[in-house]
Amino acid sequence: MDALIQDARTLFNVHLTARQVMSLITYEKELLDWNQKFNLTAIRDVESIRVKHFLDSYSCVLAWKAIPPLRLIDVGTGAGFPGIPLKIIYPTTHVTLVESVGKKAMFCQHIISKLGLEDINVVQSRAEDIGQLPAHRESYDWAVARAVANMTVLSEYLLPLVKVGGHVLAQKGESGPAEAQSAEKAMKLLGGKLKQLIPVNLPGVADDRFLVIVDKVAATPGNYPRKAGIPAKTPL
């Protein structure tokens, strides 16, 4: 854990308290236990969980610098990344986790109760469906997603959830810059504007990683997101 504590501080200026470290240790243990039964994540050893899940989640901090989100939605969270690690360091941020796979949503719920986290909820739903619900539509200041879909498709999932003046953050691999460029037309249609790409370096990970930041500059037209499955089948 010492390496994680050190790297979080030097790379992302995240200072983990003893209590937060205990939460991450519990999370890691539960993830390893559940993974044997349910196959929640392909990453199965402690070292990789710490770098590719926890540290990778904390790289999001580079996007908002010193001002954490008030309301954050994490779409396609899987086993809770990056939403739960972010909630651990930002207790006052209201977090919504969206996951369509039942066993993954159940695991997230389990971790939330196990860690006693408050003001964080799990919605088992498709991104396209939640984007049309008045309770969620245009009501978050940040929407994040990691490894969910191509940037054009992802823009249709995330932009409808963010209020005007809010932001979208996509955690991407080396294809990030090319994806962001080819998604600019779709972003514009949905009320978004590409703001920047932030390179991310994780220790021991050779692949290039990027945070793609999109500003929400106008309201999303009411017919987006389209019905479940359509954005991926016929991208904008």
pTM higher than 0.95, yes or no?
yes
Q: Which of 110, 101, 108 is nearest to 86 (CA)?
A: 108
Domains held by the chain: number: 1
**Residue written as token pair 């191509």:** 150
**What's the pLDDT at 136?**
98
Of 78, 79, 58, 81, the C-alpha closest to 68 is: 58
Which pLDDT belongs to residue 44?
80
* CATH code of 14's domain: 3.40.50.150
Q: What is the pLDDT of residue 147?
A: 80
3-state secondary structure of 90: coil
DSSP line for 120-153: EEEE-S-HHHHTT-TTTTT-EEEEEEESSS-HHH
Cβ(191)–Cβ(217) below 8 Å: yes
Residues of the chain with pLDDT under 50: none
Q: Residue 14: how many CB atoms within 10 A of its CB? A: 22
pLDDT of residue 39: 80
Sign of CA dihedral 164, 58, 117, 156: positive
User: Where on the phi/psi map is residue 102: left (φ > 0), alpha (ψ -120 to 50), or beta?
Assistant: alpha
Domain of 157, in residue numbers: 2-233
